[in-house]
Structure formats: structure tokens, C-alpha cells
Structure 1
Amino acid sequence: MQNISTFGERIRHLREEKQLPIRKVAAFADIDPSTLSKIERSERYANESLIDKLAQLFQIEKQELLNEFISDKIAREIMVIEQPEEILQLIRSKMKYLRNRDQLQGTIKFSNG
């Protein structure tokens, strides 16, 4: 079973695992310690440049942190809706449709004449 946490909780866990004080991580990321604290408490969102820096600092793949970040944003948007499962099902269908459409469009050959 996958360990579920928010992006901020994941950052806090990684920071504590490396025994780094919040001020040192914030200095490395070039942000205010209070901003990092808010991110860890999910009171504020990170941006992509911060994700790059944190992945570098914690020596993990950027995509891993990006997945946590994006899934948080989507989950927060969808959880306020009455029937989120219907939307998730529609999203899966649209992703499949868009992939197929994009693949078909990529195979269209245009002639010069």
C-alpha cells in the first residue's frame, strides 16, 4: 500500500529525515523560512523552481515531487464537488481520448501540392 501524504508533509518528512532545520532548507531554496513552514503545513503552494531546488537538495527525482504537488492541487479542487468519482472517471476517459487524438494528429501527413 502506498503511503499517502500531502506535498508539504512529504517535504517536512524529507527535511526531518535529513535532520535539516527549516531555516537551512529555506536558505538553500532561497525562500523565507515562514514560507517553507506554510508549504509544509499545506497553507501555501510551491512553484516549479522550488520543486527543482528541493529535489536537488533531497536527492530525489523532480518528477516524484512534481507528482505529489500536482496530485495535491487536483485533489483539493475535486474534493469539494459532490460526486468526485464521476469527475475522476470523466478525466480518465478524456485523458484516453486526448492521447488517441494527439497520436492520430501526429500521424497526419501534409503534402506540398
Structure 2
Amino acid sequence: MATQFGDKIRLIRINQKMLLRHVASALDIDTALLSKIERGSRVIKKEQIPLIAEVLKTDKEELITLWLADQVMNVLKDEKMADEALKTVSKNIKKKN
């Protein structure tokens, strides 16, 4: 399953003409693992995002936002009441801020 996060890092990597093996090496992970992350078959830990942003010279906040969106989508994708749940969460977040 494709993910917004995986699609974004693949696009950035390709646009910068960086090879999968070079990025994986800079992240100190296996090339196969990075490929799985880009395809959305593996999820990275949130703590790893700043390093990916640094290696790809891109915006950390954008990557975190996409990663979070993927996490929410994974939980809610098959729920009939997903929209209502998201509205409630959004309202509660706004109240806290």
C-alpha cells in the first residue's frame, strides 16, 4: 500500500538524483528496508524522520505531517465513522491549542 510519506521521500530522492543505496547508507539502514518504506510496506519510527529529512535536505515538519497522516489513515481506513472521528479529534486539538 502506497503511503504519502513513502511517496514523498521517493520523489525527493529521485528529484535529487540520489540512489536508493546511497540514501540507505546515509541512514545506516538496509537498501531493501528503505525500498519497503518508500513502497509503504514498512513504517519507520517517528524518531527516524529528522535524520531522513537531513539526508534528503527537506522539511522535517512536512515529513512528520505526512507520517502522521499515514498513521491516522491506517487506523481509520475501514471505519464508517472515520470522518466524524476526525472532526471530533480536530475539535479537541483546537481546544488544547
CA RMSD after TM alignment:
1.4
Q: Structure 1 unaligned runs (5+)?
A: 100-113
Instruction: Please name the residue that 1:110 is paired with.
Output: none
Paired positions, count: 95
Out of 8, 16, 19, which is 1:18 matched to? 16
Q: Structure 2 unaligned runs (5+)?
A: none
Q: What amino acid maps onto 1:31 in structure 2?
A: I
Larger relative helix fraction: 2
Q: Deviations over 1:40-94 (max 9, x none)?
A: 0000111234211111112122111111111111111111101211111111222
What TM-score results when the alignment is normalised by the length of structure 1?
Answer: 0.77
Q: What amino acid maps onto 2:55 in structure 1?
A: L
User: Which structure is larger by alpha-carbon Rg, 1 or 2?
Assistant: 1
SS in 2 for 1:60: coil
1:72 equivalent in alignment to 2:70: yes
Q: Which protein, 1 or 2, shows the higher relative CO under an 8 Å CA cutoff with sep ≥ 6?
A: 2
Structure-2 change in CA distance of 1:49 and 1:86 (3 Å): closer
